[in-house]
C-alpha cells in the first residue's frame, strides 16, 4: 500500500474522531455508516423538488454507484454530502457529522475528510499537476516536506508521475481527470465522491478512471460515483442505487 493511501497516515491538522462527536446534535457513538440519509427532501428556491424522502445508508468501505437520468437528483445528492446544499427536511449524516448543522470551520473540517472529483476536472490552468494536487494541503498549512511526501504516491496511483510538471492544457482529458483524482486523494480522505467523473471521457479513459477508483476502494476508501453511464456501471459490478425524478428506486445488484 502506498503512503498516500495509508489509512493510518492522517492529516495532522485534521480533527480527531473523538472531537467530531462534540458537535451539537451528534450521538457520541461510532457509526458503521459513512453516509446516512434519513428522510431527506431537497427543494430548491425556485420550487424544484430535486430529492424526495431519501433514506440511504452507505457502509464504510463500500463502493456505490448512483445512477439515473439527467435531472434525477444525482448531483444534488452529492452536494448534500459535501455540504454545498442543505436538506429542507431530514438529516444527512457523514462520518458522524450532521452536515446540515455544519457551517464555516466545522464544514471545512468535514470536507478535509472528503475527496471530490467533478466531471469537468476543475484544475487550475496556470498550475502544474503537482501544484494542483498540493494546493489544498498548502492552504491548510501542511508543511512542504509533508506535501512532498504525499505527492509521489498520489501521482503514482493515477499513473501521472511523469506528468507532475505539466500544465493541464498539456494533458489529455483522461490525464486531467486522473490529476483531479490525485488532488482528491492527497489528503487521504475517508470518502471519495465522484460526480459524473467519466462524463467527458471516451470509453477507454472512462474505464481507466473507474479502475483507479476501484483500487482506491480496495485500500479502504469509501467511494460513491454518480453517473448516467449504465454500461460502465454494469461492467464495474458494484452495488447501484437508482434515482428517478428525485426518488430512490429499489436497490439492485449491478
Note the residues at the interface with ligand ADP (CB under 6 A).
Answer: 44, 46, 48, 50, 68, 70-76
CB-nearer residue toward ligand ADP: 73 or 115: 73
In the complex with ligand ADP, which residue's Cβ is closer, 57 or 247? Answer: 247
Q: Are strands 63-67 and 240-244 parallel, antiparallel or unpaired?
A: parallel
Please state the closest distance from residue 201 (CB atom) to ligand ADP, in A: 17
Burial, 160: exposed, middle or buried (Cβ in 10 Å; 0-12, 13-18, 19+)?
buried
Cβ count near 197 (within 10 Å): 27
Q: Which is nearer to ligand ADP, 71 or 239 (CB)?
A: 71
Tell me, what DSSP letter sits at residue 39?
E
Could you count the other beta carbons within 10 Å of the beta carbon of residue 253? 7
CB 205 to ligand ADP: min, Å: 21
Cβ distance to ligand ADP smaller for residue 75 or 130: 75
Torsion angles phi and psi, residue 172, rounded to 5: -75, 170
Minimum Å gap between C-beta 72 and ligand ADP is 4
Q: Kindly state the smallest distance separating residue 49's Cβ from ligand ADP, in Å.
A: 8
Least distance from ligand ADP to the Cβ atom of residue 16, Å: 33
SS3 of 76-104: HHHHHHCCCCCCCEEEEEECCEEHHHCCH
Nearer to ligand ADP, 175 or 196 (CB): 196
Amino acid at each position: 500500500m502506498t503512503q498516500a493511501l495509508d489509512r493510518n497516515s492522517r492529516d495532522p491538522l485534521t480533527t480527531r474522531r473523538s472531537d467530531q462527536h462534540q458537535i451539537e446534535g451528534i450521538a457520541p457513538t461510532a457509526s458503521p455508516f459513512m453516509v446516512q440519509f434519513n428522510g431527506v427532501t431537497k427543494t430548491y428556491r425556485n420550487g424544484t423538488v430535486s430529492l424526495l424522502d431519501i433514506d440511504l445508508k452507505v457502509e464504510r468501505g463500500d463502493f456505490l454507484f448512483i445512477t439515473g437520468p439527467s435531472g434525477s437528483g444525482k448531483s444534488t445528492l452529492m452536494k448534500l454530502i459535501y455540504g454545498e446544499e442543505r436538506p429542507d427536511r431530514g438529516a444527512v449524516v457523514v462520518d458522524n457529522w450532521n452536515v446540515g448543522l455544519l457551517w464555516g470551520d466545522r464544514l471545512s473540517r468535514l470536507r478535509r475528510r472528503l475527496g471530490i472529483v467533478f466531471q469537468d476536472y476543475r484544475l487550475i490552468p496556470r498550475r502544474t499537476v503537482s501544484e494542483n494536487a498540493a494546493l489544498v494541503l498548502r492552504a491548510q498549512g501542511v508543511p512542504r516536506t509533508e506535501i512532498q511526501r504525499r505527492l509521489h504516491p498520489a501521482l503514482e496511483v493515477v499513473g501521472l508521475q511523469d506528468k507532475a510538471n505539466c500544465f493541464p492544457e498539456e494533458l489529455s482529458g483522461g490525464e486531467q481527470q486522473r490529476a483531479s483524482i490525485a488532488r482528491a486523494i492527497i489528503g487521504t480522505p475517508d470518502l471519495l465522491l465522484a460526480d459524473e467523473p467519466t462524463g467527458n471521457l471516451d470509453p477507454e479513459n472512462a474505464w481507466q478512471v473507474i479502475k483507479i477508483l476501484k483500487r482506491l476502494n480496495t485500500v479502504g476508501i469509501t467511494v460513491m460515483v454518480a453517473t448516467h453511464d449504465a454500461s460502465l456501471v454494469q461492467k464495474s459490478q458494484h452495488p447501484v442505487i437508482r434515482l428517478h425524478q428525485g426518488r430512490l428506486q429499489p436497490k439492485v445488484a449491478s
